[in-house]
Structure 1
Amino acid sequence: MLNLNDLVLFATAVESGGFAAASRRLGVPKSTISKRVAALEDELGVRLIHRTSRSFVLTDTGRDFHEHARAALIETEAAENAVRSRVAEPSGRVRITCGVPTAQEYLAPHLPALARAYPRLQVEVDVSDRFVDLVQEGYDIGVRSHFAPLPDSGLIQRQAAVERIVLLAAPAYLAARGEPSSPQALAEHDGLLTGPANGAWTLRGADGASAVVSPRPRMVANEGRVLVSAAVAGLGIAVLPEGLSRAETESGRLRRVLPHWDAGTVTTSLVMPHRRGQLPGVRATVEFLIECLAQKQGAR
């Protein structure tokens, strides 16, 4: 029977990128971690890691072993938490990954309340727009905003919010340029676009009609807050999620254009690896965030 502590040291070294980083993370001497991983390799009779003074790379067998070792540790953690959850509030570390706009607009307003609700929970948020493999990188929750359904990846998916993407402009812009009365009239207006290849907007009406229109490109930016600021400054018409622009519409700095038309919807979902999704701390975090995001959506 393998030593569970050796699995912990091995998995932490892999996920930290080396023995030195694992030593700092665990507070265990680097030499101890190295010796225990070597002993693990001896017991298995196979090399798990190619390591030199400059590199630390898993072998193919090591990658397979890490996947199963990580699953075993998660099951062990789940077993412990299943008992602890009966006598204590959610606790432990919960790792969340999300993109920059999602962090700013959806998580930042609610994380302080989450911390107050569960003081024994340690939440780690990694904000990055790169693709993150939740299973391989050891994340508990991924918060993803998407325009199309997420692919079937074997992850648990929980839909948190769906919001319309609407057309907005500053009152001063509309006063100067006139208010479009139909989607086709947008061709005579300045557009604030999300990318050079996104010059055409596909709109749908409340009656089921659809239209594809191309405004005059005025500014291109792939970040929503930049487009909000440009619209408030009166540079043109933008298509933006309702939630992203709610403060500006409620204050009157932006106004709906063609209110019976929209440019589709954006969905915010929470995704979790199956095993980690069963941990009490992860479940509590997911339910808390879904409730907060649902309330935000209902506040429209």
Structure 2
Amino acid sequence: MIEGLTITMDIQDLNNMRLFAAVVSHGSYTSAATELGLQTSKLSRRVTALEQELGVRLLNRTSRRLSLTDAGKMFHRHCVALVAEAQAAKLAIDQTRASPQGVVRISCPPGLLHGQVSPILSQYMIDNPAVRIVLDATNRRVDVVEEGFDISIRVRLLPLEDSDLAMLPLAKSHRILVSAPSLIATQQVPTTLDELRLFPTLATAHASERYQWHFLAPQPISFEHTPRLATDDLATLRDAALRGAGIAQMPKELVQDDLNKGTLIQVLPELTTPEGSVHAIFPSRRGMVPAVRSLLNALATGFTASSSTDQN
């Protein structure tokens, strides 16, 4: 700061400081105007306006040369520093746009995280060492914009509600009835919904506290029941099913590994349920930084590979 001088400037004045620094650097208005692509008269007026704003003369003008006043010398040092900081800021943004780096905030339901998303995130961090991930494992519906999330992974039944957010489909979701072999072994395997009523059930909790499983085939029907356990934590629901506490309706993608191992078996496989969607929600595609874009691509690739493996 120039001693004894208080400077109050808006954005236009900051640009005038850049123009003033260019005039000093080139040694003349003509050379600086040519480099900046401005008219010499306009450049001169901008520097004069800056001097009037500051209330001091910055340049001594003669017909042959320009020279800095003492105040101009002080002020020029600050202008050069300002231009350097502006260039550094632009370079930082350019680097951010050029390669994945920085922090990505993401939310994901714990069940889906443990089943499919966690390996994708781990591999992504190995492939992109300059990216940090802040992960919120939660079943609650986060507000992506208000809470500052870059990505939120959701599992919802179709059709999805309208939203101003951008969406990337990752996979289709199908719910199936599953049970531990130990539970089924205690009595006859259920072959109808009436026989299913003889078994304890486990369900996803919701506000209405009215529990129904909806099926589309072989004909549309709803199965109303009173679960022994109702929870919004799919990981807890899966664990209870694995331990034989009851029959649960679970997203197939979350229990596929258990089905492959035989630790869970599918019950009434002929019953089909409404299709759901696993998808990523994010604020906008416009201005998306490479770290977010590349992580979305990694999620899409990872889910596609997982789906292909399950079908083989």
With normalisation by structure 1, the TM-score equals 0.65
- SS for the counterpart of 1:229 is helix
Look up the equivalent residue of 2:174 and give its one-letter code.
R
- SS for the counterpart of 2:173 is strand
Rate the CA distance shift 1:139–1:170 in 2: closer, same or farther, 3 A. Answer: closer
CA distance in 1, matches of 2:149, 2:133: 11
Look up the equivalent residue of 1:104 and give its one-letter code.
H
C-alpha displacement of 1:294: 1.9
C-alpha displacement of 1:213: 1.9
2:216 counterpart of 1:204:
yes
- SS for the counterpart of 2:284 is coil
Look up the equivalent residue of 1:187 and give its one-letter code.
R
Q: Which residue number corresponds to residue 182 of structure 2?
A: 172
CA distance in 1, matches of 2:90, 2:101: 12
Whether contact under 8 Å (1:157, 1:271) holds in the other structure is: yes
Look up the equivalent residue of 1:109 and give its one-letter code.
P
Aligned ranges 1:284-299 → 2 under 5 Å: 284-299=294-309
Deviations 1:10-35 (A, max 9, x none): xxxxxxxxxxxxxxxxxxxxxxxxxx
Whether contact under 8 Å (2:100, 2:290) holds in the other structure is: yes
Q: Which residue number corresponds to residue 256 of structure 2?
A: 246
Deviations 1:147-203 (A, max 9, x none): 244432211111111121001112222222211222333223221222382432112
2:166 counterpart of 1:153:
no
* Structure 1: gaps of 5 or more residues: 4-75
CA distance in 2, matches of 1:260, 1:189: 18
- Among residues 112, 122, 133, which one is paired with 2:122 in the alignment? 112
Q: Which residue number corresponds to residue 61 of structure 1?
A: none
CA distance in 2, matches of 1:157, 1:141: 10
Q: Which residue number corresponds to residue 80 of structure 1?
A: 93
Aligned ranges 1:1-300 → 2 under 5 Å: 1-2=10-11, 80-81=93-94, 84-85=97-98, 89-195=99-205, 197-205=209-217, 207=218, 209-215=219-225, 217-274=227-284, 278-300=288-310
Whether contact under 8 Å (2:165, 2:284) holds in the other structure is: yes
- SS for the counterpart of 1:101 is helix
Rate the CA distance shift 1:164–1:84 in 2: closer, same or farther, 3 A. Answer: closer
CA distance in 2, matches of 1:77, 1:263: 52
CA distance in 2, matches of 1:177, 1:120: 55
C-alpha displacement of 1:115: 0.7
CA RMSD of aligned residues (A): 2.9
Rate the CA distance shift 1:181–1:129 in 2: closer, same or farther, 3 A. Answer: closer
Look up the equivalent residue of 2:199 and give its one-letter code.
H
Rate the CA distance shift 1:81–1:103 in 2: closer, same or farther, 3 A. Answer: farther
CA distance in 1, matches of 2:278, 2:299: 11
Rate the CA distance shift 1:220–1:117 in 2: closer, same or farther, 3 A. Answer: same
* Structure 2: gaps of 5 or more residues: 1-9, 13-88
Rate the CA distance shift 1:125–1:78 in 2: closer, same or farther, 3 A. Answer: farther
CA distance in 2, matches of 1:211, 1:238: 17
Q: Which residue number corresponds to residue 60 of structure 2?
A: none
Rate the CA distance shift 1:81–1:186 in 2: closer, same or farther, 3 A. Answer: farther
- SS for the counterpart of 1:167 is strand
